[in-house]
Structures are given as C-alpha cells and as structure tokens.
Amino acid sequence: MEIRTFELIKGLFITPQNYEDFESCFKKAKRNKKESFNFPNDSGRMFSIKVEYVEFVWNMMNKMSAKEIIEKAKEFAELDKDFIDKKVSEDELIEKQTEMRDEAQIEINKTFK
C-alpha cells in the first residue's frame, strides 16, 4: 500500500515516515475502546486525536477517489453555507450531518472489522 502524506489536523502531517507509529497508536486506542489518543507532530507538539475522526478520514481516503472526496467536501461546505445563510435550520443541519456520518460509519465498519 502506498502511503500518501496528508494533513490530518492543522499542523499534524501523516507521512510515510510516521505512518506505522500513527497506525499503531490508532489501533491500540480502538482496541482499548478509547475515544481519543495522543500523537506528536514532527516538531514534538502533541495532538489529541479522536478515533472516530481517524476512522472517517481513513475511510474517505481508502474508499473514495480524489474526485469523490472533493465532492463530499463541497457537499459539507454547501451545507454549512446554507446554515450560515439561514437556508436550513440547526435541526436540519444536525440531521443531515448525522445522515452523512451514519453513511460513513457503515463504510468504516466494513473497512475496520
């Protein structure tokens, strides 16, 4: 599997050099049913990372093409814009975000059994 460099959280890059350590921390947290785990960036700054977030990101990167990821990002951005512009209520925003998260979780469960 080719490891691509990506910025998981602003200031935290996952690279071919730190991927195995990151994956090990993630799997340990998941196995121990932790909600989050700590991981340092290349300058030693520690980040607290939610397991659910990593699952979501990995699912997106492993299951979707770059084009699909861009489309989903646009969909999320449009939903946020609609909320800001008061085209959808907070309840509608939460409902749609929950639907999108649930769809992603189904795929994640298939990936990380």
How many distinct helices (H) and strands (E) make up the chain?
Answer: 4, 4
Tell me the C-alpha distance between 75 and 66, whole Å.
14
Tell me the C-alpha distance between 45 and 43, whole Å.
6
Tokens of 27: 């799997």
- Report pLDDT digits (tens) over 52-101: 888 878 777 777 777 877 787 788 778 888 888 888 888 988 888 888 77
Q: What CA–CA distances, in Å, run from 84 to 27, 77, 89, 91, 101?
A: 37, 10, 9, 13, 20
Q: Is the pLDDT of residue 17 over 90?
A: yes
